Amino acid sequence: MSATRHEPQTVLLTGAAQGLGAAIARDLAEAGARLLLIDRDATGLETVARDCGPETRFAVADLSDAESTLCALRAFGDAVGEIDTLIHNAAILNPIAFERETLEGFRRTLDVGLQAAFLLTQAVWPGMARRGGGMLVYVSSRSGIMGFGDEAAYCAAKHGLEGFSKSMAEAGAPHGIASVTITPGMPMHTPMSERNYAPEMKERWVEPARLVPAFRHLSVERPQGLSGQRLDAWAMSQELAGAP
């Protein structure tokens, strides 16, 4: 994969307090990236930010709430205009039979997945366009291409994110802004998966740290020619590691 290096990079990352987001944050900090982190878990977020170093900035926000999301962005001030990569990792997965799903629960899942994606992208877009480039990375899943009976809200959010990313790829092309979705590609061992995975999936899950090379590559190397694609973090990380 050809790449253009722009260092140091400024990365806005959501869902950074635990799981995949925390692993990505720590790895990007090691790579020298400047980080802006968002999560609703204040304690976890403070811990990750501390691990990532004194230049890391963070904001506690409920991404299902538009004003809370905008407040977090305002807290970052002018730094939002310098963001090179957006990684929207935050999501809600609460499996529930459709007949028991509530409008409130449905909307909350969609708002974290899609409303936040829109607001965050809209915030970083002007700076990326002004500087002639940027990378938008939206974390998806199998639920973005398949349907699962107890995941009406989550599937809707991830399917929507896939379409949103494709639209951003088209809109961003004249400005050098690339947009991709990326799936873990393997079951991950995270607090969310501990609650929701079936036993057979838990038998083969991997630690999030094994998937972060893909996110480092996208954020730090800024590879060319991927915009509009749906990527697999496990496959990409294996390829970067030279695995057969």
Q: Residue 36: beta bridge partners? A: 12, 57
Q: Where are the domains of the chain?
A: 10-240
| Three-state DSSP class for residue 23 | helix
Q: Cα-Cα-Cα-Cα dihedral of 39, 41, 44, 48, to 10°?
A: 10
Task: Look at residue 202 in the predicted model and tell me its pLDDT.
Answer: 64
Q: Are 192 and 15 in contact (CB under 8 A)?
A: no
| Three-state DSSP class for residue 148 | coil
DSSP 8-state code for residue 118 = H
Task: Look at residue 206 in the predicted model and tell me its pLDDT.
Answer: 78
Task: Look at residue 244 in the predicted model and tell me its pLDDT.
Answer: 57
> Is the whole-model pTM more than 0.85?
yes
Active site residue 197: no
Locate 244 and state its tokens: 């057969």
CATH level 2 (architecture), domain 10-240: 3-Layer(aba) Sandwich (3.40)
Q: Are 119 and 90 in contact (CB under 8 A)?
A: no
Give the residues of the chain that fall short of pLDDT 50: 1-5
Task: Look at residue 2 in the predicted model and tell me its pLDDT.
Answer: 43
Q: Of these residues, 58, 76, 154, 164, which one is catalytic?
A: 154
Contacts (Cβ under 8 Å, ≥6 apart) of 203: none
